[in-house]
Amino acid sequence: MERSWRTAAVRAGIDADTAEGAVVPPIYLSTNYGFTGLRAPRTHDYSRSGNPTRSHLADALAELDGAAGAVVTASGMGAITTTLMALVSAGDTVVAPHDAYGGTWRLLDALARRVGFDLHLLDLAAPDAVERVRTLVPVLTWVETPSNPLLAISDLAALADATHAGGGLLVADNTFCSPVLQRPLEFGADAVVQSSTKYLNGHSDVIGGVVASATAEMAEQMAWWANCLGVTGGAFDSYLTLRGLRTLGVRMAAHQENAAAVVDALCAHPAVERVHYPGLADHPGHELAQRQMDGFGAIVSFEVVGGEDAVAALVDGLAHFSLAESLGGVESLICHPGSMTHAAMPPEVQEAAGLRPGLVRLSVGIEDPDDLVTDLVAGLDRAGACDESE
């Protein structure tokens, strides 16, 4: 029977156990599976190539993304490595965002030299991005929208058209959104990659990833490479991630409601110079975000008056935000990209990418929104006082 993604997330694998009738599918920790006779393997033979627990998660994630198939990997970077190995060869042209996730940038940069492909890092949210992609005729265009940490929005459908015009493929890293907020395959992307470490699992206790592909042929290719590279996900991690996935819908709703409350408080505070959130009417990507997203998400960044000293005053004393990297868990996090997630970028590169010293990124959790706002406003009051004392 037809089912919506909400039902799929809750019911994936439920009642699938034929041995005992367990409602929740058991974890298959076994590394190997007996053949029923010579030349007669069962569905699974070895857990790197295939594992029943991992299959439940992969099937659920494929269904949520509207994909032909998905492969679950041991990390988001494992999913990205799988994708690049499957799609890129020596001499190819690859386009990626100039503000890609740091690990993605590092891998692309290292592989471009080792494999020998031409890597073009562009601002994929800029007005001329689509035309530049069309002119470059890439084999692969990599896109992340919203971008990190400035939440710039790129046009998925236009980038897919421009890439397909030259015979290339579009792959979207959808980690910031999850399929609840954005399904890139619907806009013409050929594959979607996610770090399930973030919203999909949602409890900050599993490192994992997934590649979901538009066609069965590509899904097969991705699964082949993940197995070949040895980066497929473990059974216990898959079990935990499937458990996390069951509440993805209600979590994303709570995350977004809290983010809206936090954005209101930030916009009203005199210590805040600028708020970057695609839900704000004056955000340059607001209309595009309305078209291609089903909500604006719960990653918010903003700039405090007074630079890094003010950031120190803000974070020192917060009770309900942990000063930590990562995102997408039920707990709220605060991060200073300049000295944390983006520290590998030299100051002049940060400046060029628009990362000013007073920039702060929040991953808004699902705590009581009043507690979050009270805590943040007290922190901003400290930041403001610090600026006046200078």
Q: Which residues bind ligand PLP (CB under 6 A)?
A: 75-77, 101, 103-104, 144, 148, 173, 175, 195, 197-198, 207, 209
In which residue are the tokens 């974890």 written? 27
308 φψ region: left (φ > 0), alpha (ψ -120 to 50), beta (else): alpha
Q: Which residue in 290, 273, 258 sits closest to 373, CA to CA?
A: 258
CB of 73 to ligand PLP, least distance (A): 9
C-beta of 160 vs 210, nearer to ligand PLP: 210
C-beta of 73 vs 384, nearer to ligand PLP: 73
CB of 328 to ligand PLP, least distance (A): 8
- Closest residue (Cβ) to ligand PLP? 76
CB of 300 to ligand PLP, least distance (A): 15
Catalytic annotation, pick one of 48, 132, 274, 356:
48
C-beta of 241 vs 258, nearer to ligand PLP: 241
Catalytic annotation, pick one of 28, 101, 199, 239:
101
Return d(Cα 149, Cα 370) in angstroms, integer. 25
CB of 136 to ligand PLP, least distance (A): 23
State yes or no: is 173 an active-site residue.
yes
Catalytic annotation, pick one of 54, 198, 361, 382:
198
CB of 66 to ligand PLP, least distance (A): 20
C-beta of 299 vs 314, nearer to ligand PLP: 299
Cβ contacts of residue 323 below 8 Å, gap of 6+? Answer: 315, 333, 334, 335, 336
C-beta of 197 vs 258, nearer to ligand PLP: 197
In which residue are the tokens 């708020």 written? 275
C-beta of 170 vs 383, nearer to ligand PLP: 170
CB of 209 to ligand PLP, least distance (A): 5
Return d(Cα 230, Cα 224) in angstroms, integer. 10
Cβ atoms of 350 and 108 closer than 8 Å: no
CB of 6 to ligand PLP, least distance (A): 24
User: Token pair of 376, please?
Assistant: 């943040």
Cβ contacts of residue 341 below 8 Å, gap of 6+? Answer: 102, 148, 149, 325, 335, 361
C-beta of 101 vs 225, nearer to ligand PLP: 101
Catalytic annotation, pick one of 59, 99, 155, 173:
173
Amino acid type, 349: V
Does the CA dihedral 235-60-209-246 come out positive or negative? negative
Cβ atoms of 275 and 261 closer than 8 Å: no
Catalytic residue positions, numbered = 48, 101, 173, 198
